Amino acid sequence: MFLAAFTSSSPREVSLDATLLSRLLQKDVSAFEQLYDRHSRLVYGLVLRILQQASTSEEVVQDVFLQLWRNADQYDSSRGPFVPWLCTMARNRALDQLRLKSERQRRREDQPAELPSVVVAPDYEKALDEKRRAERVRTLMASLTPQQKKAIELAYFEGLSHSEIAATLKEPLGTVKSWIRNGLLRLKEGLRATT
Amino acid sequence: MNNCDQFRELIEAYALGALDPEERAALEAHLATGCSDCTKAAEEARWLVSQLAYVAPEASPSDMLKGRLMQTVRAEAPSQAKPRVLPAKSSIPFWLWAGVAALLVFSIYSAWNTRRLENEIREANERAAVLRSEGEKTAQDLALAKREAMILMDPNSVKIALKSGNAQGPQLEAKWHSQLGVVVMGENIPMPSPHHVLQLWFIPKAPGKMPMPSMMIRPDANGKFVLLVSNPPESMDATKALAISEEPEGGSAWPSNPPRYSGGVS
């Protein structure tokens, strides 16, 4: 049941992450260290891309991994694959920090909860290792129009809403919505086609 | 377009967190009705959005971060929890600690040594400054002595006797060279009154023109002095006489006492 959650990575990687997480539930320090070694570069790269500042990014990454260590028992198969779950948690923390930093402390109601919502890998998602997965996503993003790419990145890395992106880019709201939706659908189709 | 189609268009932006409040509230209300298709679509959309993490270039956090994390985790780990597969290894190996310790010792020694060298350099600079100052003073004294000697020995210098009102009193002498200046000298000169000095004056020939104040004279303990006036305020031809009077300490702009010694310029 527990292993079923890790369907978005290669079988070998899923097996290793699943094994490490099961040991993490037993407060195994070595398992935690291996999980950190396996995923800290991805998590730190994401947080650094959002915050653009190394020291603050390290604080966020520290919080994320300490939460993983302290609340590993809250993680179960219903929360979906591990790496997307970890990245979603890291992104939420980084955007919180970004809003705090920019004094936009208003809590948007659409902000994700403390723990990420359910994430389910689609049927077409097959086993890919982290490196191939990263190459594929980057290639597909590069194939989007510059406007689609820019709008999606403003939403994902800066946490902006449709209206905020429209104001930032000085473009009509409907146009921005189309860019984001069409860009994400194109990304989805690309992922489907390459798996 | 049925109800679900309307919301399905929002699903990806919802997962991205880009919906504005009204649309988000409407979609969440729809999901709350238990629509299984839209719920599944939202879950898959979250996975799709999570893949955007790979767009960010990977980066390595500092070793210090891992060190801090592992320190915290080890402190919080229950003592009975032991690694089962791989032995726990220190995030910072012993050789690194040894290197840090060696670096720390070296840094302290370097700082101490640097400070010591700085002090030595500063003291050496101070000694050099004193020697340089003394050398400059000696050179100045030598130049003055040389100039005095040239004035005294040059046959073109004009001799001026400065006599006191008392015939028994000391006699002073001045020699004036038109280019090199005036040397005034004397022996057995009585010391001036307390808080007073002797001051040299140049008395112009021009009628009604005030005496020109010149330098202070400070005889030594034996009442002896030699004074060089490099640039007399008046030319020899325009000067009627030289005079010395007792003036308050610091000198005067014009004579406040009658001259003690005086002599005409021939």
ipTM value: 0.82
Q: Are residues B187 and B247 in the same domain?
A: yes
The percent of residues above 70 in pLDDT, for chain B, comes to 94
Per-residue pLDDT of B11-24, as tens digits, reads 999 999 999 999 99
Distance from CA of A153 to the nearest CA of B (A): 9
- In-domain check, residue B191: yes
- In-domain check, residue B57: no
The residue extents of the domains of chain A are 1-121, 129-195
DSSP B49: H
Confidence of residue A2 (pLDDT cuts 50, 70, 90): very low
pLDDT of residue A127: 53
**The pLDDT of residue A5 is above 50:** no
Distance from CA of B9 to the nearest CA of A (A): 8
Q: Which A residues 6-25 touch B at CB under 8 Å?
A: 8, 19, 23
Judge: B52–A156 Cβ closer than 8 Å, yes or no: yes
Q: Are residues B188 and B119 in the same domain?
A: no
What is the interface size between A and B, counted as CB pairs within 8 Å? 191
- In-domain check, residue B179: yes
Helix axes A82-101 and A146-158, enclosed angle (nearest 10): 80
pLDDT of residue B201: 92
Residues of chain A neighbouring B17 (CB-CB closer than 8 A) = 95, 108, 110-112, 155, 159, 161
Q: Are residues B37 and B126 in the same domain?
A: no
Residues of chain A neighbouring B25 (CB-CB closer than 8 A) = 109
Residues of chain B neighbouring A83 (CB-CB closer than 8 A) = 50
> What's the Cα-to-Cα distance from B118 to each of A64, B114, B122, B193, rounded to whole Å?
49, 6, 6, 51
Per-residue pLDDT of B94-147, as tens digits, reads 788 888 888 888 888 888 888 888 888 988 888 898 898 888 888 888 888 888
CA–CA distance, A174 with A163 (Å, rounded to integer): 9
CA–CA distance, B230 with B223 (Å, rounded to integer): 22
Judge: B51–A187 Cβ closer than 8 Å, yes or no: yes
Nearest by CB to B16, which of A41, A57, A180?
A: A180
Distance from CA of A150 to the nearest CA of B (A): 12
Q: Which residues have a Cβ under 8 Å from the Cβ of A21 and sit 6 or more positions away?
A: A2, A31, A35, A72, A75, A82
Q: Pick the last residue of a domain from B85, B119, B149.
A: B149
- In-domain check, residue B250: yes
Q: Which CATH architecture has domain A1-121?
A: Orthogonal Bundle (1.10)
DSSP H or E run through B131: helix B94-153
pLDDT of residue A76: 65
Predicted model pTM = 0.54
CATH number for the domain spanning B224: value is 2.60.40
pLDDT of residue A6: 31
Domain that holds residue B144: 108-149
Q: Are residues B194 and B222 in the same domain?
A: yes
Mutation site, A46, A48, A99, interface B, largest B CB count within 10 A: A46
The percent of residues above 70 in pLDDT, for chain A, comes to 73
Per-residue pLDDT of A157-179, as tens digits, reads 999 999 999 999 999 999 999 99
- When divided into structural domains, chain B yields a total of 3
Q: Are residues B212 and B114 in the same domain?
A: no
Q: Pick the last residue of a domain from B51, B70, B91.
A: B51
CATH assignment of A129-195? 1.10.10.10
